[in-house]
Chain A
Amino acid sequence: MNIQTQIKRTAAEELLLDAFAAHGEALPGDSSVKAQRKAAAELIGRGLPTRRVESWHYTDLRRLLSNVAAFTQGQGAAAEAALLDGSTVLSVVGGKASASANVDGLTVASLVNGLADGKLAERLTLAGTDDTVGAINSAFVADGYAVDIAAGAEIAHPVELQNVHAGGQVHTRFVVNAGEGAKAVIVERQTGTGSALVSSVSELDVGEGAEILWIIVQDQPVEADHLAQFKARITANAKLTLFVMNSGAKLARQEVRVRMEGEHSQFHLRGVNLLAGDAHSDITMVLDHLAPDTYSTETIRNIVTGRADGVFQGMIRVAQKAQKTDAKMACNTLLLTDEGSFSTKPELEIFADDVVCGHGATVTEIEKAHLFYLMARGIEEKSARGLLVKAFLAEVIEELENEQAIEVLEDKLNRWFEAHA
């Protein structure tokens, strides 16, 4: 339409801007950080994205973020036990980071200092006008951790980054730098209790030849809105495996932005999306192949039950000089309900000619032949269905090169089924 009428702000937009006006000044940061925060708040002021913004096509944030939890902290949040035994736990409890670690090869600092002295200012720069998750985080981020993994260090036990809340607003950031040849397993836990607005941004630099397995486990309460971003830069010969398990929240948006900057780098994304009730869950990935001979695979599996809506957007961009790129993406969904929906947009944008890129997407119900096979062996329909659905998801989990993680994630999967079968 030609006539750009001044659209009335939604309640959520008002609340976010009010919170910034009231508390923005008190948030940590020098003048450069404050300038970034202001720019971020201005973007929020221009309105939350609707379907008309291409990267939010299936997640109309303006409509879905109907309310915003108060800018306070709920009482009684406490750090959770580690998901994987023996992990070094770095928790942000109710928006505050207080843990420290004494592990060889790990340097851990609270993020407050980095904000206060302006060292992190540049990191608060937004990726574009559609970077709403980044904007909410940049405007309000209060704490988190900066973790350095020394060059050559092989961290024996997983490092768990926890973001736990008891309601209210939590805006956290994790900045991880893996030095040359470093090896580590990192678990990112996003959980809590009560109605909340959580924004969390994780940034990872994978040094040359380093190998990182990063596992995101999001099981927010059904009252929470969860906006998360994972950003990584992968340099030459480095390998990053990212695993995402989404099983909670009223509204969840997990953005994955990965830049493969070094030759022979590898990126593997595995995702399991468990959707129930009235949840709206969105995984949006933008993957840039920027260097020659890079290799990536992405597999996302989704289960939709209840009245839930699931979304996967995956864009693979291959730059002109990224010859010999090999990129394969698959998104498979079992839609088990007529009241829910699943939407997917797997995009390829290719400027190099010598590449092999492909994507596949399916949305189906359980294969009748498989069901028949099991039922013919005396397994009743309900159990047979359960088995097939679990197998569909477990397949992705079992690809992980970490026995301990497989066990814990499969256990979580089973518990989800018990609760939602």
Chain B
Amino acid sequence: MAAVQETIDTVRTLDVDQYKYGFETLIESDKAPKGLNEDIIRFISAKKDEPEWMLEWRLGAYRRWLTMEEPTWARVEYPKIDFQDLHYFAAPKGITGPTSLDEVDPELLKTYEKLGIPLREQEILAGVQKPASDEPSDNVYASGRVAVDAVFDSVSVVTTFREELAKAGVIFCSISEAIREYPELVQKYLGSVVPVSDNYYATLNSAVFTDGSFVFVPKGVRCPMELSTYFRINEKNTGQFERTLIIAEEGAYVSYLEGCTAPQRDENQLHAAVVELIALDDAEIKYSTVQNWYPGDAEGKGGIYNFVTKRGDCRGKNSKISWTQVETGSAITWKYPSCILRGDNSVGEFYSIAVSNGYQQIDSGTKMIHLGKNTSSRIISKGISAGNSNNTYRGQVSIHRKAEGARNFTNCDSLLIGDQCGAHTVPYIEAKNASAKVEHEATTSKISEDQKFYVMQRGIPEEEAIALIVNGFVKDVIQELPMEFAVEAQKLISISLEGSVG
């Protein structure tokens, strides 16, 4: 397999300093003063030029948040976050929302070029797009047929391919813009999957969210291209609060990708996102994430705290929501993309690869809530722990009383590399209907000596042998990713494991 060889080569060429997106963009920015209070929320709302109802919604969430306590049930440890020591809004000077490319600070464009995200669609269409650096372009965006919403700190900088999408009837814009332009849609769906008071971080997000994407695919439309949001945290001492809302009407289809990176810094930074997906009758949403936030250095200093609430609602019958995630970044990950299978015959899927190294802590998994008849769900989770990291799968499968004929299959496997790391599995399985069928299996092991011997015996060096076996281990998930993404994901995995092999 060519990709495997590539993976190994990547591992070789990279040394200890593995995180290649750790640079900082020196750009002047507008920031809200540090701290969190009602005035800050009014400030954010005013910056976004929001209608009154939105401000009220935020303030309601904030007052609710004040009465809540930070959850402690996850297997992650971190010093208490001082929520008053953060900037809740930071934007490159002069930018308050997506503008035309000509108005964007060239420094900013350079950043995206460096990240390999082409924002100039015409060049892509003309086929003259070149990779910005000498490194081979290794990501999905290079294909050029992806519409990108670029979010830089607290604002969406630019959204590409808007006209082409509009021709198909698809709305793809930043959430701030949607609040102004399509208030009736936002009001109808925002908070309908993840209620304001859902959990501590979701409530905080509801109060202070700054930007994210809004996607609306009308009835019967198959979105003509992949949609994508690229999140970049740049500014110091800021929190990024992303809010994404995707709606697929009856019979619609959309595939959405999410990518994220941040500079290398010594202090921890907070990213608390809420993502809501709504699939009506016969609609399908495919949501893929390659999460590559800065994971902290080899001593566990710095890195992003990634506290995310992602939930999809299969509201209509025969609808389908599929989550695919490759988690390699962040110092701490707290993330459970879930599906509420409300419509009869609806389908939920969760495919995950979580790789932890260094001092990373991952507590991630999914929830499949079966409410409708003949609903089915499938969970495939692969955790790989190395270094001093801890990697937990935490998932819930709940079959409600009326979910006749519901079906779930869960498989979560963990692989341990080294004896200083931990791998944990915490599934919650709840069945209340006799005709339901729930299957769960989990294994934890190290790469077996037999497998390694078999491969090495054929003349393949140890490091390559391990890479080969690891690639086999995660294959089930990788094949669910959009093709170009899969290549990037494979590379990411080998980078994350670098230094722990052999």
Contact = CB atoms under 8 A, between A and B. Distances in A.
B72 to A, nearest CB: 10
Contacts of B78: none
Contact of A358 (B67, B419, B444): B444
Nearest to B402: A338
Interface residues of B, number: 39
A341 B403 CA distance: 13
Contact of A350 (B69, B424, B438, B439): B424
A360 B440 contact: yes
Interface string A108-135: 0000000000000000000000000000
A338 B401 contact: yes
B437 interface: yes
Which residue among B422, B431, B441 has the maximum number of chain A CB atoms within 10 Å of its CB?
A: B431
Interface string A306-348: 0000000000000010010000000001011110111111111
B442 A353 contact: no
B418 A362 contact: no
Contacts of A2: 66-69
Nearest to B428: A345
A13 to B, nearest CB: 24
Contacts of A340: 432
Majority secondary structure of chain B interface residues (helix, strand, loop or mixed) = strand
A1 B424 contact: no
Contacts of A336: 434
A395 interface: no
Nearest to A313: B428
B434 A347 contact: no
Given A355-B445, A360-B440, A362-B440, A333 B431 contact: yes
Which residue among B67, B417, B446 has the maximum number of chain A CB atoms within 10 Å of its CB?
A: B446
Given A338-B401, A346-B442, A358-B444, A3 B431 contact: no
A99 B344 CA distance: 62
Interface string A1-14: 11100000000000
B483 interface: no
A358 B69 contact: no
Contacts of A354: 419, 446
B424 A335 contact: no
A224 to B, nearest CB: 25
Given A1-B69, A353-B416, A353-B418, A347 B424 contact: yes
A35 to B, nearest CB: 31
A397 B152 CA distance: 62
A58 to B, nearest CB: 8
A21 interface: no
Which residue among B414, B417, B427, B434 has the maximum number of chain A CB atoms within 10 Å of its CB?
A: B434
Contacts of B66: 2
Contact of B445 (A1, A356, A360): A356
B322 to A, nearest CB: 23
A338 B434 contact: yes
B407 to A, nearest CB: 10
Contacts of A333: 431
Contacts of B442: 346, 348, 358-360
A343 B431 contact: yes
A336 B66 CA distance: 45
Nearest to A341: B432
A357 B443 CA distance: 6
B436 interface: yes
A347 B425 contact: yes
Given A357-B444, A358-B444, A363-B438, A335 B416 contact: no
Interface in B439-467: 439-446
A344 B68 CA distance: 29
A36 B344 CA distance: 55
Given A349-B424, A352-B419, A364 B436 contact: yes
B432 A338 contact: yes
B413 to A, nearest CB: 9
Contacts of B422: 349-351
Which residue among B67, B69, B401, B438 has the maximum number of chain A CB atoms within 10 Å of its CB?
A: B438
A79 interface: no
A347 B412 CA distance: 12
A399 interface: no
B423 interface: yes
A345 B410 CA distance: 13
A406 interface: no
Contact of A343 (B67, B419, B429, B439): B429
Contacts of A418: none
Nearest to A344: B429
Nearest to B439: A362
Interface in B64-90: 66-69, 73
Given A347-B424, A364-B437, A353 B446 contact: yes
Nearest to A354: B446
Contacts of B27: none
Given A355-B445, A358-B444, A365 B67 contact: no
Contacts of A58: 430
A192 B146 CA distance: 71
Contacts of A361: 427, 429, 438-441
Contact of B433 (A335, A345, A352, A355): A335
B414 to A, nearest CB: 7
A54 interface: yes
B5 interface: no
Interface string B389-426: 00000000001010000000000001011111111111
A340 B441 CA distance: 23
B435 interface: yes
Given A320-B420, A349-B424, A361-B439, 11 more contacts: A2-B66, A335-B433, A341-B431, A343-B428, A346-B442, A350-B444, A353-B416, A357-B445, A363-B437, A364-B436, A364-B438
19 contacts: A338-B401, A341-B431, A342-B430, A343-B430, A347-B426, A348-B424, A350-B416, A350-B423, A350-B424, A352-B419, A353-B421, A356-B445, A357-B445, A359-B440, A360-B439, A361-B427, A361-B440, A363-B399, A365-B436
Sorted nearest first, the 9 A-B pairs with minimum C-beta distance are A353-B416, A363-B431, A358-B443, A348-B425, A361-B440, A363-B438, A341-B432, A343-B430, A357-B444
Interface of B: 66-69, 73, 399, 401, 414, 416-446
